[in-house]
Amino acid sequence: MGRLQDKVAIITGASSGIGAATAELFAQEGAKVVISDIQDEKGREVAAGIGENAIFFHHDISQEKDWQEALAACMKKFGRLDVLVNNAGILVSGTVESSTINDFRRANAVMVEGVFLGCKYAIEQMKETGGGSIVNVSSVAAQIAQPHFLPYSAAKGAVRTMTKAIAAHCQMHKYNIRCNSVHPGAIHTPMFEEVKKASKEFLPPDMLAPNASGRADPKEVANTILFLASPESSFVNGAELVVDNALSIQ
């Protein structure tokens, strides 16, 4: 039996990078998966690669209507929801002086409001079927100073603290729903390529290396998400797990 046998998961931003790696790993461990993304072609490719236990759903996580429709599609296809992985994100660079209010709002619309909406509607379903696990993908940028990525860092910081508030809420109401956050460092994903392009003017090249071991594969993060989604982490709630090969403490 797989570690997520017969569980149903929604994974946002699952057309590439950490989201795609997580979807594939979940399916290998017995889960049925909803691939959520705005990149339709890539998302359908991921779903097709998994097979009958996956569907793709076009999903702008900043839109409440899209969340309602995504949950409805999940329930229609699979009949329940056990795991939500709020992984989708965007890179918004800029300092406190160079960022505009629109930059700040755009980052928060996707990575704060999108996570809030996902948690809100997932809890609504999970509490009716005995509980579940929510994993919010934050970043080491929520824990260490990133002056050239202020909108992104601020949004990921909000995800970090919102996760803890949601975990406490669900525990207080005895919903049997856990909520934890994962904080990746420099991982080989399409977003990391954007970081390198945006950073080359103000960061030295060695700062842009993913990590010393060269093991910056999205699967490293997917394995951590799998642990938090599975019953193995049943006593882990409101935690933040850093996956960065010590990047944030050097």
Residue type, 175: Y
* CA distance linking residue 151 with residue 92, whole number of Å: 6
- Phi-psi group of 206: left, alpha or beta (phi > 0 → left; psi -120 to 50 → alpha; rest → beta): alpha
**Distance (Å, whole) CA 161 – CA 133:** 17
Query: Which residues are CB-contacts of 98 (< 8 A; sequence separation ≥ 6)?
Result: none
- The token pair at 154 is 């601020």
Return the ∠ at Cα 186 (arms to 44 and 228), rounded to 5°.
65
Active site residue 121: no
Helices in the chain by DSSP H: which ranges? Answer: 17-28, 40-50, 64-78, 101-108, 114-126, 150-172, 190-199, 218-229
Instruction: Return left, alpha or beta for 85; rule: phi > 0 is left, psi -120 to 50 is alpha, else beta.
Output: beta
| Cβ-based neighbour number of residue 20 at 10 Å | 25
Point out the catalytic residue in the list 56, 116, 152, 192: 152
How is residue 149 written in tokens?
């990525």
User: What are the residue numbers of the active site?
Assistant: 152
